[in-house]
């Protein structure tokens, strides 16, 4: 802030160190030419500065410095950003999760259920991002801009993914088709008013208005397409194993989605979203996520130890441990909110697929 006494004092202290200092109000004032030769940048602000403003500056610097870097790291950042914005990386991760769970049940062929998982997850997250642009203006301006500019194209792609997923699910069986159709309809109803206007005094006019509904419903949806629908395709069906993997899917995705809710807390609060992170607070949410990850680790270990699932379960322990390390690194300030951090979290699902492939 230009008129903030605290910020002015911080700027004066920084200048005394002999380093170049730029006092700005918003990320729009960043001087690209002045920053062209720097390798590292420190950001500080007064105590009253909202965290979402600092986050926007950090995001802008991350993008600016990556564009300046024409080497391998610059191209890697650009690729990461494209994969994350388009939800391609996330949908591949859903396919990898389905692949890993199917392999744990002894399946040899995975393509149809994997395709259903990828297509459905791609579509629901595209629609979710399209309806969450308001919060993204504060949480991730680049993502908000991308979805605003490409709204029509993304809606068409998401629609194609839904239809293709339904057709693929029908080839598996009528029950998977009905399940996916029901979930698709519920996804469309998520943002629509389900109460008549006479109930205007009711706080919850839409499903999305229910506190924590997004995180819970997304987790359940992932669980269905990655653990339940594949059962109808497998020749050797085990209901008990499917239930276990369904619960583990929900837990993994719950950790992933709740962690992103923590990163987006201020923007969500501004637009009135009531996520689990906002309801519980950051510290209690992080504590809850650590407990959930410990449950996943214990469940995988014991299920493999007692031959409830194949020994692949031991190798897959790497994934919840990796996610726990990311959570601890964030909690202690070693990882800051960034594309890199988000990419690490999503890579956890890709890692499941890679480990399963190498194990097989």
What tens digit of pLDDT does each residue of 252-291 get? 999 999 999 998 887 777 777 788 999 999 999 999 999 9
- Look-up: residue for tokens 């680790």? 297
**Burial zone of 74 (CB within 10 Å; 0-12 exposed, 13-18 middle, 19+ buried):** middle
Q: Is there a single domain that holds both residue 46 and residue 124?
A: no
Provide the residue range defining the domain that includes 12. Answer: 5-79
pLDDT band at 51 (very low <50, low <70, confident <90, very high): confident
Considering 48, 79, 110, which residue would you say is the last residue of a domain? 79
CATH code of the domain covering residue 183: 1.10.600
Q: Is there a single domain that holds both residue 75 and residue 130?
A: no
Instruction: With a cut of 80, say whether residue 74 has pLDDT above it.
Output: no
Q: Which two tokens stand for residue 285?
A: 């949410």
Say what the pLDDT of residue 268 is.
76
Q: Is there a single domain that holds both residue 38 and residue 99?
A: no
Q: Is there a single domain that holds both residue 142 and residue 193?
A: yes
Say what the pLDDT of residue 339 is.
85
Q: Is there a single domain that holds both residue 224 and residue 269?
A: yes
Instruction: With a cut of 60, say whether residue 208 has pLDDT above it.
Output: yes
Q: Is there a single domain that holds both residue 166 and residue 265?
A: yes
What tens digit of pLDDT does each residue of 145-188 get? 888 899 999 999 999 999 999 999 999 999 999 999 999 888 87
Q: Is there a single domain that holds both residue 204 and residue 292?
A: yes
Do 173 and 191 touch, CB atoms closer than 8 A?
A: no
Say what the pLDDT of residue 327 is.
96
Considering 79, 110, 134, which residue would you say is the last residue of a domain? 79
Q: Is there a single domain that holds both residue 42 and residue 174?
A: no
**Cβ within 8 Å of residue 237, ≥6 positions away:** 231
Q: Is there a single domain that holds both residue 60 and residue 90?
A: no
Would the CA dihedral through 331, 337, 339, 340 be positive or negative?
negative
Q: Is there a single domain that holds both residue 55 and residue 181?
A: no
Of the two residues 136 and 310, the one the predictor is more confident about is 310
pTM for the structure as a whole: 0.86
Report the domain count for the chain: 2
Q: Which residues pair with 193 in a beta bridge?
A: 206
Helical spans, DSSP H, in the chain: 5-16, 51-68, 72-85, 88-104, 111-131, 133-139, 141-149, 151-172, 174-189, 213-223, 239-263, 265-270, 276-280, 282-305, 312-316, 318-331, 339-359
Say what the pLDDT of residue 314 is.
96
Considering 17, 46, 79, which residue would you say is the last residue of a domain? 79
Q: Is there a single domain that holds both residue 33 and residue 153?
A: no
Say what the pLDDT of residue 234 is.
80
Q: Is there a single domain that holds both residue 29 and residue 118?
A: no
């Amino acid at each position: 802030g230009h008129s903030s006494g605290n910020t002015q004092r911080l700027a004066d202290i920084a200048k005394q160190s002999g380093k170049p200092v730029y006092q700005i109000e918003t990320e729009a004032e960043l001087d690209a030419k002045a920053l062209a030769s720097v390798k590292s940048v420190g950001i500080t602000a007064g105590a009253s500065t909202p965290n979402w403003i600092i986050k926007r500056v950090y995001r802008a610097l991350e993008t600016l410095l990556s564009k300046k870097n024409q080497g391998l790291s610059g191209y890697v950042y650009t690729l990461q950003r494209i994969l994350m914005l388009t939800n391609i990386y996330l949908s591949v991760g859903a396919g990898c999760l389905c692949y890993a769970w199917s392999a744990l049940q002894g399946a040899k062929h995975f393509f149809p259920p994997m395709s259903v998982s990828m297509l459905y997850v791609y579509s629901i997250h595209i629609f979710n991002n399209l309806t969450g642009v308001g919060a993204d203006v504060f949480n991730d301006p680049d993502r908000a801009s991308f979805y605003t500019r490409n709204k029509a194209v993304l809606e068409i792609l998401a629609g194609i993914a839904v239809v293709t997923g339904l057709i693929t699910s029908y080839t598996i069986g009528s029950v998977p088709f009905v399940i996916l159709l029901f979930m698709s309809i519920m996804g469309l109803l998520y943002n629509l008013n389900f109460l008549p206007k006479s109930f205007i005094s009711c706080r919850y006019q839409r499903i999305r208005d229910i506190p924590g509904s997004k995180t819970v419903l997304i987790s359940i949806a992932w669980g269905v397409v990655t653990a339940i629908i594949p059962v109808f395709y497998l020749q050797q069906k085990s209901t008990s194993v499917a239930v276990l993997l369904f619960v583990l899917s929900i837990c993994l995705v719950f950790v992933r989605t709740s962690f992103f809710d923590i990163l987006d807390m201020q923007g969500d609060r501004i637009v009135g979203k009531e996520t689990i992170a906002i309801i519980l607070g950051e510290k209690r949410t992080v504590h809850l996520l650590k407990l959930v990850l410990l449950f996943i680790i214990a469940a995988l270990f014991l299920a493999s130890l007692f031959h409830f699932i194949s020994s692949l379960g031991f190798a897959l322990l790497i994934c919840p441990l990796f996610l726990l390390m990311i959570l601890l690194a964030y909690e202690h300030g070693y990882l800051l909110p960034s594309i890199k951090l988000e990419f690490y979290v999503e890579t956890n699902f890709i890692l499941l697929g890679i480990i399963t492939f190498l194990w097989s």
